[in-house]
Amino acid sequence: MSVFSHLEFDNHQQVVFISDEAVGLKAIIAVHNTNLGPSLGGCRMWPYASDSDAIADVLRLSKGMTYKSAIAGLPLGGGKCVIIGDHRRQKTPQLLRALGQQIENLSGSYITAEDSGTCVADMQIISQTTQYVSGVQENTLHKGDPSPSTALGVFVGIKAAIHYQLNTLDLSGLTIAVQGIGNVGFHLCQYLKAAGANLIVADIFADNVNRAVSQLGAKAVPSNEIYSVDADVFAPCAMGGSLNIESLSKMRATVIAGAANNQLARPEVAKLLQQKGILYAPDYVINAGGILDIAYQRSGASLAALNTHIERIGDTLTEIFVRAEQSNTSTDLVANQLAEEIFQRPDLQTTNSTNNITINL
Ligand code: NAD
């Protein structure tokens, strides 16, 4: 299996394969770029169909983190960890401690945190064997969990997107289709419900769907029908790759704005979105609330400062929407250019960055 010639390989600085048979651990850590600082990114646990799928995911996700931190104005690089396995059945304290030891061995080039399939309790176990872990600070508002901040950022981003596309700031009466009602998706639904939006939801786990239906009055549809529902906004909050030729052929929403990482199945999909007149909020821009939360947990800055920073996601998106329209290009391309201007020229950071956040590493 190739790494250096892999389609998703983008001069990643480090790719570490971890195997510990005694505890059932198979994981990959990828560090994409550390120009702006040490790499920080979540640890995902997922039952990948193949090792190749896991490699593709970690390469894409770690690169996405470089872009995300750069555009969010954080002094951090991009990295990610994937554990190959079913988090509902195979996650054990022994496995997590063994992973922590491996992260410790990297001496701080990669700092881990929560992602899909891992939670605050897991990070606390990992912290028993490594200092390079965030999302464990229980004295913060959400007790270390970045998901509510991610959801807040997505909510802010949806408001910016509907303002730009639909010329309204009022969500009441609008219908939002949310794909994936997990940690982020459920918190997002709470914000949307409070703002008066109608919710249509789908998830592969019935208990997650039932919670949204019973607690928030959401309408549930089968997973394969969520793309074609009559909605103003489609919010992908499940796994990556959900935006492709097939899903877009069914899409009725004219705004796509959600939390999932790597929403575009292929980069070319960005152009297709533009051609269809669908306003796409680039995933790593709109979902930066989580990395901001994680970074602020290590900074000692106030919650008010964090929330102010998250609110700026809306301004960043609006700037991207405007630039994309003016240059007749895709929002994804504009976001990439903005991020690259920042992390490929760290010497310009003092002028590019408006943040004074200091992260204790
Ligand atoms: P999660 O695992 O808690 O939730 C994901 C949900 O999607 C689960 O309930 C799962 O059952 C569901 N799902 C999976 N495949 C599906 C499908 N085909 N159709 C419908 N539902 C499906 O994860 P999360 O922490 O809520 O993260 C959601 C997404 O947002 C992920 O892509 C993650 O990488 C991204 N993200 C999360 C954070 C964070 O703070 N947690 C931050 C940035 C980005």
pLDDT-derived band of residue 351, with 50, 70 and 90 as boundaries?
very low
pLDDT at 212: 98
Burial of 124 (0-12, 13-18, 19+ CB in 10 A): middle
pLDDT-derived band of residue 140, with 50, 70 and 90 as boundaries?
low
pLDDT at 301: 83
Lowest mean pLDDT, pick from 165-174, 272-281, 340-349: 340-349
Range list of H helices, the chain: 51-71, 93-105, 120-126, 147-166, 183-194, 206-216, 245-250, 269-275, 283-286, 289-297, 303-326, 331-343, 349-352
**Is there a contact between 136 and 124 (Cβ–Cβ < 8 Å)?**
yes
Report which ligand 1 atom has the smallest distance to the Cα of 117: 2
User: DSSP states of 262-284 as a string?
Assistant: S-BSSTTHHHHHHHTT-EE--HH
**Percent of residues, the chain, with pLDDT higher than 90:** 85
pLDDT at 360: 61
Instruction: State the distance from the centre of ligand 1 to the C-alpha of 261, rounded, in angstroms.
Output: 9
Instruction: Sketch the domain layout of the chain as residue ranges.
Output: 3-66+76-126, 147-289+315-340
Q: How far is CA 20 from CA 44, 82, 122, 330, in A?
A: 17, 14, 18, 43
Instruction: State the distance from the centre of ligand 1 to the C-alpha of 349, rounded, in angstroms.
Output: 32
pLDDT-derived band of residue 288, with 50, 70 and 90 as boundaries?
very high
Instruction: State the distance from the centre of ligand 1 to the C-alpha of 333, rounded, in angstroms.
Output: 24
pLDDT at 214: 98
Q: CA 233, CA 154: separation in Å to the nearest integer?
A: 12
The stretch 76-81 carries a mean pLDDT of 97
Let me know if the fold of 3-66+76-126 is the same as that of 147-289+315-340. yes
User: DSSP states of 73-113 as a string?
Assistant: T-S-EEEEEEEES-TTTS--HHHHHHHHHHHHHTTTSEEB-
Lowest mean pLDDT, pick from 93-107, 119-133, 270-284, 292-306: 292-306
The stretch 97-122 carries a mean pLDDT of 95
**Percent of residues, the chain, with pLDDT higher than 70:** 94
pLDDT one-digit tens code per residue, 24-53: 999 999 999 999 999 999 999 999 999 999
pLDDT at 354: 42
Instruction: Give the residue numbers annotated as catalytic, written as ranges.
Output: 80
Residue 253 parent element (H or E): none
pLDDT-derived band of residue 357, with 50, 70 and 90 as boundaries?
low
Cα Rg of the chain (Å, integer): 19
Mutational pocket test of ligand 1: of 83, 115, 247, 291, the residue with most ligand atoms within 8 Å of the beta carbon: 115
pLDDT-derived band of residue 56, with 50, 70 and 90 as boundaries?
very high
pLDDT at 345: 78
pLDDT at 359: 61
Q: How far is CA 117 from CA 52, 65, 113, 131, 287, in A?
A: 19, 18, 11, 21, 17
Domain 3-66+76-126 has CATH 3.30.43.10: no
- Is the pLDDT at 116 greater than 90? The verdict is no
| Pocket residues: Cβ below 6 A from ligand 1 | 114-117, 146-147, 150, 179-185, 202-205, 208, 223, 237-240, 259-261, 287, 290
Instruction: State the distance from the centre of ligand 1 to the C-alpha of 240, rounded, in angstroms.
Output: 9
pLDDT at 303: 86
pLDDT at 347: 67
- Is the pLDDT at 353 greater than 50? The verdict is no
Mutational pocket test of ligand 1: of 237, 246, 296, 310, the residue with most ligand atoms within 8 Å of the beta carbon: 237
Which class in CATH covers the domain with range 147-289+315-340?
A: alpha beta
- Is the pLDDT at 104 greater than 60? The verdict is yes
